[in-house]
């Protein structure tokens, strides 16, 4: 593992692009780029002991977080998801939904 800064280019070839992880030299941070077509979702999942932030770059969508009512997400919004919480992100718009997710180990568990 090295401690060098790096610049990564966002790609649009796939639905999911891993940006930062342990394999790329991170000490605990994980980050990825997601592009969803209209009607597409990432599928329900949890990030276990990691908390997550989702930064919406383009489009409109909906986040189902735990058992709460779905919340609208859109360009220039940020969604926080606590550790051990099931969640799903769905594109509810007519154009792509593009976002960056960032996860990190929660320190106070």
What is the model's pLDDT at position 104? 93
What is the model's pLDDT at position 90? 98
Pairing of strands 16-20, 87-91: unpaired
* pLDDT, tens digit (0-9, with 9 covering 90-100), for 41-75: 999 999 999 999 999 999 999 999 999 889 999 99
> Do 95 and 38 touch, CB atoms closer than 8 A?
yes
Tokens of 108: 């106070």
pLDDT band at 109 (very low <50, low <70, confident <90, very high): low
* Distance from C-alpha of 49 to C-alpha of 2, rounded to nearest angstrom: 25
CA quadruple 96, 100, 105, 107: dihedral positive or negative? negative
- Domain edges within the chain: 16-105
Q: Looking at domain 16-105, which of 3.20.20.140, 3.40.710.10, 2.60.120.10, 3.30.300.30 is its CATH number?
A: 2.60.120.10
pLDDT at 1 over 60: no
* Distance from C-alpha of 100 to C-alpha of 84, rounded to nearest angstrom: 20
Predicted TM-score (pTM) of the model is 0.89
């Amino acid at each position: 593992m090295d401690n060098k800064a790096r610049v990564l280019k966002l790609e649009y070839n796939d639905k999911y692009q891993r940006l930062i992880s342990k394999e790329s030299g991170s000490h605990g941070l994980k980050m990825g780029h997601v592009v969803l077509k209209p009607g597409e979702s990432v599928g329900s999942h949890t990030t276990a002991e990691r908390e997550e932030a989702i930064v919406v770059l383009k489009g409109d969508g909906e986040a189902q977080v735990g058992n709460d009512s779905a919340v609208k997400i859109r360009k220039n919004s940020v969604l926080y998801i606590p550790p051990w919480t099931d969640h799903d992100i769905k594109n509810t718009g007519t154009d792509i939904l593009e976002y960056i997710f960032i996860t990190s180990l929660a320190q106070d568990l």
